[in-house]
Amino acid sequence: MGIFSSQKQLEEIKRILSKYLRLPFSGDSIPGAVMESVLAQVRSGRRLGTYDFVDVVSSAEECGWQVKSTKAGTPVTWKRAKLPNSNELIEKSERVNEFGTLAVGI
């Protein structure tokens, strides 16, 4: 299937999130845990529920995704991961395929 969502998958994500936003308690934002769960459902993966490098993984696709969101008019917040072997990972990432992905043995 690949790392990018198909049009059908994107439509399914939109359908689910639209229903969530209609709930009386939803407010004007979608919590990260909800978005991660939706992505996991649509992509046949599983939500890790941790603060690891990826939020959702699919063993079948050997792929993982990190979910980030922000509201219109607010800045995007980026955080640095503190990895003990970061130099090695950076060097490997510079030698991988055109998308800059790295097989990590999911």
Does the residue 106 lie in any domain?
A: no
Does the residue 34 lie in any domain?
A: yes
Does the residue 33 lie in any domain?
A: yes
Does the residue 43 lie in any domain?
A: yes
How many domains is the chain built from?
Answer: 1
Find residue 56's DSSP bridge partners. Answer: 47, 65
What domain range includes position 37?
7-93
DSSP for 31-71, written as a single string: -HHHHHHHHHHHTT-EE--SSSS-SEEETTTTEEE------
Does the residue 53 lie in any domain?
A: yes
Per-residue pLDDT tens listing for the chain (106 residues): 678 889 999 999 999 999 999 999 888 788 889 999 999 999 999 999 887 778 999 988 888 888 876 666 666 555 555 667 777 876 776 676 655 555 554 4
Does the residue 60 lie in any domain?
A: yes
Residue 105 has what pLDDT? Answer: 46
Does the residue 103 lie in any domain?
A: no
Does the residue 105 lie in any domain?
A: no
